[in-house]
Structure 1
Amino acid sequence: MHMACYFRRSIASKLSRALGRSEDAFISALCAIPVSKKQQSPDFRLSVNTLLRNGILPTNGDLQAQTEALASQLKQDSVVEEIFAGRGVIHFRVSRNLLVQKVLEQLCQERHKFGVKSELFDGLKKGTTVVEFSSPNIAKKFHAGHLRSTIIGNFIANLKESLGNNVIRVNYLGDWGMQFGLLGAGFQLFGCQEKLKKNPLQHLFDVYVQVNKEAENNEVIGQAAREFFRRLEQQEHQALLLWKQFREITVEEYQQVYKRLGVHFDIYSGESFHQQQAQEVVQQLQRRGLLKTTEKGTGVVDLSSAGDMSSYSTVLRSDGTSLYITRDLAAAIDRKERYNFDEMIYVTDKSQGIHFQQLFQILLAMGHSWAERCQHVPFGLVQGMKTRLGEVVFLEDVLDEARARMLRNMSQSKTTKEMVYPEDTAEKVGISALIVQVNKFDPTLKNMTYQPNILFFKLTYLLYETKNKQRDFKGPLGSDYKFDWDRILQAQGDTGVFLQYTHARLCSLIHRYGDGEEGAFDPSLLLDQRSISILQHLLRYDEVLYQSVQDLQPKHLVNFLMTLSHLAASAHRELPVKGSPQAVAQARLRLFGGVCTVLANGMKILGITPVEKM
């Protein structure tokens, strides 16, 4: 049981006795209170409105009167030492000695499992989750949108896995379709095997750009592209050989980039795997009476509620070749048969929202009720991600740029530790900066509300200073934003570098003096406000993970880790280990060791590899 649950259970037992309901009715209604910088705060709160909505209290009374009456029925004890009514909420303050003891004992016992064993997760169905993410197009540049899909999808997969799900990570490559007709025709006109061996992705990209340009004014090239794709669909030997060469060299290069990012996939799939199954899908649609033929000869599925073709999805070209959505239908059906998943999550940019809406709608019309457990997680676009040499062509350019800039910053910093492999550290810190920055949202749109049926989200938030200097983390997570190299590599402020810097400082302290876990410790030595604030904040960790898995938004975890890092930085300054009495030093080391563990755990879920020196 997570230590927050220990305290929640103690409070719930009081409510159970007072109101005659089971303890479980109150567990999810009790929330750990965010730490306040200005004043000491209680630890948990109960919203009386929640009890009203759940039918636990009558709805015909005065809210404040009910709040005060219920608070007066709850008695203090050795666990909960203070209970008082606020405006529509009841606040609970737990024993400070118990808070210190329970949190640090559990951190010592559970370490990387800390927070994930909470009873908050008991109601979540743990099963097989398929996450499709990254999904670049073969022989085309790996742009910032794919970087973003990679980072967000990796977070979702890590989160689900940490909570006990069997996660299958799928990279569904764009390796089929009319663009390969263009590329195949283009390579026959402008390609060079020698250049392909020397710099494969760049050469394929150059060929693709050139053939697109030529096709704009030359219908012969357009016809050649259609003919090449038709040959591919008919499994013509020479066309397939060329396509296989393009696919193999592209996947090999992408795997090197994924290795740098610390991302892995269980399956490298692609549209090409489902070309035959796509034709079977068309036949199934036909048998069910769902396939209509337009005047132009294309095959469509009517999606209108009135059956008047006011809304439809095209699933077949007039020449009989499949489309992207046809192959997606086949892929979804195949995955269900192959993995029997409990849920499937697609991570792509927001421009594909209509595509997935139609995909799920067609699957349901075909009788696949499991499509209700499929969801699209969209995100906005990144603007301004350029290197000093100009516009980024491949993700590798972005990673090289992040490493080079971070290495330069480290070499100029007076606090940088001497290390054996500075390039490796610069790479990890640079990537953590990208992970936190690449998904920031626009604070100018902060007053817009979330749309409950659309999972807008980004990997983190932009630090926004209002006139009263309060941070504002509201906003539509699908908004586009400007990328800023200088901001993301700052060691101060809410950046990935700051998370790494805090973790490295704590590691340095622990390596020098130990983690304080040997032998007993005296909880009364950690009753100062800095220590208590950290422990109060750690009470929220299971709630933060619960929020994250509910809406698949990483902002909850990022926000939590940033606050933890700020609290740890203040405590590190004001609670010295060196020069303190041994018992005090041991207690503080245990506290800092616990913070270091949670910080590392959370960073790993985000896809960040923690460094121990920088």
Structure 2
Amino acid sequence: MSCFFRRSIAAKLGRTLQQSEDVFIPALTAVNVIKKQQAADFRLSLYALRIMGILPSSGDIQLQTETLASQLKQDSVVEDISAGSGVINFKVNRRLLAEKLLEPFGKGGGDTFGLDSELFNTLKRGTTLVEYSSPNIAKKFHAGHLRSTIIGNFIANLKQSLGHDVIRMNYLGDWGMQFGLLGAGFGQFGCVEKLKENPLQHLFEVYVRVNKEAEHKEDTKQAARDFFRQLEQHESQAMSLWQQFREITVREYQHIYKRLGVHFDVYSGESFHQDQAQEVVRLLQSRGLLKTSEKGTGVVDLSPDGDMSSVCTLLRSDGTTLYITRDIAAAIDRKAKYCFDEMIYVTDKSQEHHFSQLFQILLAMGHPWAGGCRHVPFGLVQGMKTRTGEVVFLEDVLDEARARMLHNMSQSNTTKELENPEDTAEKVGIGALIVQDFKGPLLSDYKFDWDRILQAQGDTGVFLQYTHARLCSLIQRNEGMEAATFQPSLLREQTSTIILQHLLRYDEVLYQSAQDLQPKHLVNFLLKLCHLIASAHRELPVKGSPQDVAQARLRLFSGTRSVLANGMRILGIIPVNKM
């Protein structure tokens, strides 16, 4: 494992510089490999040692580099030490590299590969609450909610794999004036039979129709206000209809979440916090934080100089609460209920200002834990269309991905006989959507392109799945061969060494992702791994090689398959064994 080598090099540095070896662990980085080019395995930046105060920050850095490199001695683990430009390069023993990295895969212990690294000792583990997806009830699942759903799922998977207790929360938009409209509209245009047949489609049609009516009919607007007031006062008939809409929606959403491989521990919603929002208002008043504006609204002054130049509105002039008031109540309630160490909100970038205000108000109310709350914003997807035109609903996107993938698989010469081709096409299609979404920075908008997403070659989710399926097939064809003794010294070709060097970076990639919550590091690591595996398939044949060489190569392929599968699962992709 990479931690064995990091620890050995850190111990050497600790002895030479008379420091604890632990301080050098995060300063050592695995070298990013370039195909067909031999390189060192680890690198130590002298600038990092200067920043850490281990070396004097003045003087000639190159002289410092060469002096330290000459003081470090080679041994049975590190066989070469050289000075570069402001860095020291370490090359480890090639037999040990193969032995330590691939040994766990022979005992079936490969699932924890990279996750037990000492790099993670600096990360605080605890309870993480992730709020994501959060669609509006009584509406079909909009394609725009896809990003929040898959990004939140990735963050929850990553945190869980690194040893956090994760609470996955779906905070539904299930309150507000739109339910006044829907309730009034259902009284006019609703049909119980249609509600049973296609619930969300029918509610969507009712909502569109009543919205049009409300534009020019005052009595429709009044009926909506009346219905919402009945909800606010918990009148049984209105509450019963609202409850029915909510249950129908959650049931329909769960079907889509199942297709995406996503699950939630808690379905919460704005409705849970309407009463607590009034308590928030009382608390703010008692602390003198809630002021009345000229318009009669209740505001909190967030300006640095206290001159009301930047305010956040928490109360309408009629005394009713707003979305942010319920968000404050929700955060306080969650802290009491779940005792989280950090809470992560995953929504699009248009809500950055909202969350900045939310965290400021929580801190002003005397909740220091708000410092552990974080908003992960993301950009918009442009041009998401199906063959029939503009996409409104996520189900259309998933159906289209499956249909196109099924067509592509039927045209390919390499497609295997599958028990359930639709299921495989679904998993590959969804994996393709996820990789397309995760390749760049989350904050960037990106242009949706079906043809590029579903290509089998190039940096796509289809390529990840194809590589995994190909490795599964290779391992299956040679079943039983690997049981014999593994001889790491037989993996001496440059192709295998480069794969091993790339695997050294896996823990660093997860560490980087854990810090900035960006999936692009892991996606790009896995795509590069797949390109290296494609070369290895050509250059390191298993069939026709001497048995001991074949066994060693099979262990290499088995190890890479395990890392690829684990990485895909963290991203939220279900690996397929055949395609």
What TM-score do the two structures reach when normalised by structure 2? 0.98
- Any idea what the Cα deviations from partners look like across 1:483-537, whole Å, max 9, x if unmatched? 0111111111111110000000000000110275413122121110110010000
In the alignment, the residues of structure 1 paired with residue 432 and residue 87 of structure 2 have an alpha-carbon distance, to the nearest angstrom, of: 39
In the alignment, the residues of structure 2 paired with residue 544 and residue 399 of structure 1 have an alpha-carbon distance, to the nearest angstrom, of: 29
Does residue 51 (structure 1) correspond to residue 49 (structure 2)? The answer is: yes
The number of residue pairs the alignment matches comes to 578
Hey, what does 1:499 align to over in structure 2?
A: 464
The within-5 A match list for 1:15-34 is 15-34=13-32
Residue of 567, 586, 593 corresponding to 2:558: 593
- Any idea what the Cα deviations from partners look like across 1:384-413, whole Å, max 9, x if unmatched? 111112222321111111111111111111
Does residue 36 (structure 1) correspond to residue 40 (structure 2)? The answer is: no
User: 1:363/1:436 Cα in 2 relative to 1: closer, same or farther (>3 Å)?
Assistant: same
Hey, what does 1:549 align to over in structure 2?
A: 514
Contact 1:139 1:250 in 2 (8 A): yes
Task: Note the aligned Cα RMSD (angstroms).
Answer: 1.3
Hey, what does 1:310 align to over in structure 2?
A: 309
Hey, what does 2:491 align to over in structure 1?
A: 526
In the alignment, the residues of structure 2 paired with residue 517 and residue 42 of structure 1 have an alpha-carbon distance, to the nearest angstrom, of: 29
Hey, what does 1:606 align to over in structure 2?
A: 571
The one-letter code matched in structure 2 to 1:30 is L
Note the C-alpha offset of 1:270. 0.5
Note the C-alpha offset of 1:306. 1.8
Contact 2:131 2:152 in 1 (8 A): yes
Contact 1:147 1:395 in 2 (8 A): yes
Hey, what does 1:69 align to over in structure 2?
A: 67
The one-letter code matched in structure 2 to 1:355 is H
Hey, what does 1:94 align to over in structure 2?
A: 92
Contact 1:82 1:94 in 2 (8 A): yes
User: 1:492/1:94 Cα in 2 relative to 1: closer, same or farther (>3 Å)?
Assistant: same
In the alignment, the residues of structure 2 paired with residue 62 and residue 209 of structure 1 have an alpha-carbon distance, to the nearest angstrom, of: 71
Note the C-alpha offset of 1:259. 0.7
Residue of 460, 480, 486 corresponding to 2:439: 460
Note the C-alpha offset of 1:182. 2.0
Hey, what does 2:454 align to over in structure 1?
A: 489
The one-letter code matched in structure 2 to 1:504 is A
Contact 1:516 1:588 in 2 (8 A): no
Hey, what does 1:237 align to over in structure 2?
A: 236
The one-letter code matched in structure 2 to 1:322 is T
In the alignment, the residues of structure 1 paired with residue 144 and residue 290 of structure 2 have an alpha-carbon distance, to the nearest angstrom, of: 33
The one-letter code matched in structure 1 to 2:531 is H
In the alignment, the residues of structure 2 paired with residue 309 and residue 194 of structure 1 have an alpha-carbon distance, to the nearest angstrom, of: 54
Note the C-alpha offset of 1:106. 2.8
Hey, what does 1:573 align to over in structure 2?
A: 538
Hey, what does 1:60 align to over in structure 2?
A: 58
Note the C-alpha offset of 1:40. 0.7
The within-5 A match list for 1:431-446 is 431-437=430-436, 439=437
The within-5 A match list for 1:160-559 is 160-437=159-436, 439=437, 459-461=438-440, 477-514=442-479, 517-559=482-524
Q: Which runs of 5+ in 2 are unaligned?
A: none
Question: Is the deviation greater in 512-521 or in 558-567?
Answer: 512-521
In the alignment, the residues of structure 2 paired with residue 545 and residue 357 of structure 1 have an alpha-carbon distance, to the nearest angstrom, of: 27
In the alignment, the residues of structure 1 paired with residue 49 and residue 22 of structure 2 have an alpha-carbon distance, to the nearest angstrom, of: 13
What TM-score do the two structures reach when normalised by structure 1? 0.92
Note the C-alpha offset of 1:162. 0.4
In the alignment, the residues of structure 2 paired with residue 501 and residue 231 of structure 1 have an alpha-carbon distance, to the nearest angstrom, of: 55
- Any idea what the Cα deviations from partners look like across 1:137-196, whole Å, max 9, x if unmatched? 112232233111110000000000001110000000000012212222222233222222
Hey, what does 1:455 align to over in structure 2?
A: none
User: 1:333/1:240 Cα in 2 relative to 1: closer, same or farther (>3 Å)?
Assistant: same
Contact 1:515 1:592 in 2 (8 A): no
Name the SS of the counterpart of 1:131 in structure 2. Answer: strand
Note the C-alpha offset of 1:107. 3.3
The one-letter code matched in structure 1 to 2:164 is N
Note the C-alpha offset of 1:38. 4.4
Contact 2:135 2:145 in 1 (8 A): yes
The within-5 A match list for 1:115-130 is 115-130=114-129
Note the C-alpha offset of 1:460. 2.0
Note the C-alpha offset of 1:97. 0.7
Name the SS of the counterpart of 1:416 in structure 2. Answer: coil
Hey, what does 1:81 align to over in structure 2?
A: 79
- Any idea what the Cα deviations from partners look like across 1:40-68, whole Å, max 9, x if unmatched? 11100000000111111111210111111
Contact 1:71 1:90 in 2 (8 A): yes
In the alignment, the residues of structure 2 paired with residue 123 and residue 107 of structure 1 have an alpha-carbon distance, to the nearest angstrom, of: 26
Name the SS of the counterpart of 2:216 in structure 1. Answer: coil
Percent identity, aligned pairs only, is 76
Contact 2:143 2:392 in 1 (8 A): no
Question: Is the deviation greater in 521-530 or in 290-299?
Answer: 290-299
